[in-house]
Structure 1
């Protein structure tokens, strides 16, 4: 007489609350947004129009100009994070993982604290710091003889978006630092001791031994950075407002979506076109995640194993 397989109902019981909450606040709104993008306002309420909203978004000059401007700005916002935030995070993690470094815990805490601050606080604080009228940035640069380098960076079209991206880097560099720090600590001591026997120490050990072993973690950080940056909204809104000035130079997909869906000033919101923009954002993020999963991550695993 064979034993029947045990039904592990407790797994479903423990997963049910999380699944229900995730479905209620993520899955249902996502599908409802995709559904709403296929409708438009009619005389008797919502009217099914198919892909006409997307044709307007990409074909109408007024809409497409704003969309492509926001998308290009979003790409630049992401590139700065990839080229500045993540390398700095990796370097900080490598330094702080040195067992001979004193006060490493204090440094980790100080670097990670900005990540728990509110976007509104960070946006307004840096706007005050960089103000040419009452900000402290001009005086700080003057103290070191570099006042000539100061410029109203948040007020210039050429530098507003880059400045905001660097502020975001300052706030969130602690996240890749902590993830890479945890990955470095998980490397077996036997591997490092074997490298020392071969004369590989210091930075040589990091480049030749540690870095290849933490490539999967770097890949995960990269895709998290991609998703977070293409969902960005709060910092731009807090610092530059709904219009993402000056002259939409810091406009990204998040602010473009907010301005369209909820309206601004005397312009009424359009939930149908707003849903089309949100669906386009979802498509961009989905394509990026798929490229990572089926391209980069596969190569990383092949390289590692």
Structure 2
């Protein structure tokens, strides 16, 4: 084969993956444009107009956004709901990055029944969050729920509380139920990350006299920084967008007394239950604020984890 022919063959071969990749990406890009990008642009447009029912009126600029911070009920409900979202994120992070990582380490070191327990812990993650929320509302019912019945059966009547009827416990139930459902997701990611680590590093440290905890915190955990960053960012996004479980456990009003209220519920009430003539403009403004907050914080978290990963690699 002549040099010119070999060069043309290399160029053709190098160009094929790009065209094939674009061919495979095109359907996803079209679906993203239709179901994500277009609604997002539409929401931005809607948030800058005043509405009378479903009739769009004059352009008002940022007036709908200003209204969220200056008029009731949004001036008081939005900060409260935002705080609940942050608490939900914190609780999910603590449970997922501790319990999920612990289970992943145990299953990684115990190959027997590993697949069985991975499937068992992942099953709640595969069920609809709305179904999970309604099931837990039945389990925690103060009238016929098995949780309170079991507590009474062992003599712990003082702990048999109306879990979802008390403001002091309702939000923590939402946090724990959310973390319980999603713990299988980080378990799978951490398990895959542990399986990809070179065992020679751990063996070399063991030969040098390092204990199990020392090897884990000095070698294993730093090498899992990329996966921890991925889990943290996704947990943040899921927590800020939380709707099905808070809705199933506390209803659209965030009962009791707004204790389980989150930003998505505020958006839902504004858009579909407020009866306001400008419901479309106001709810679109809430959606845009929520998107901007998630986008900015997710970007900050991702860059911070990448810098941390680069420092550990030096």
Cα 1:147–1:268 change in 2 (3 A) is: farther
Contact 1:263–1:269 under 8 Å retained in 2: no
Contact 2:100–2:186 under 8 Å retained in 1: yes
SS in 1 for 2:164: helix
Contact 1:111–1:174 under 8 Å retained in 2: yes
Shift of 1:269: 7.4
Unmatched runs of 5 consecutive residues or more in structure 1: none
Listed one character per residue, the Cα deviations across residues 197-249 of structure 1 (whole Å, up to 9, x for unaligned) are 21335333222221111011101100100001101101111222111111111
Question: Which residue of 281, 285, 288 maps to 1:276?
Answer: 285
Shift of 1:42: 5.6
Contact 1:119–1:234 under 8 Å retained in 2: yes
Contact 1:34–1:279 under 8 Å retained in 2: yes
Shift of 1:146: 2.4
The 5 A counterparts of 1:189-208 are: 189-208=199-218
1:76 equivalent to 2:101? Answer: no
The 5 A counterparts of 1:169-208 are: 169-208=179-218
Q: Partners of 1:42 and 1:137 in 2: how far apart?
A: 48
The 5 A counterparts of 1:80-159 are: 80-99=91-110, 102-159=112-169
Q: Partners of 2:231 and 2:34 in 1: how far apart?
A: 27
TM-score, normalised relative to structure 2 = 0.90
Cα 1:268–1:40 change in 2 (3 A) is: closer
Q: Which moved more, 1:45-54 or 1:194-203?
A: 194-203
1:213 equivalent to 2:223? Answer: yes
Listed one character per residue, the Cα deviations across residues 59-89 of structure 1 (whole Å, up to 9, x for unaligned) are 2242211111111111111111112232111
Provide the aligned length of Structure 1 versus Structure 2: 303
Contact 2:243–2:262 under 8 Å retained in 1: yes
SS in 2 for 1:155: coil
SS in 2 for 1:154: coil
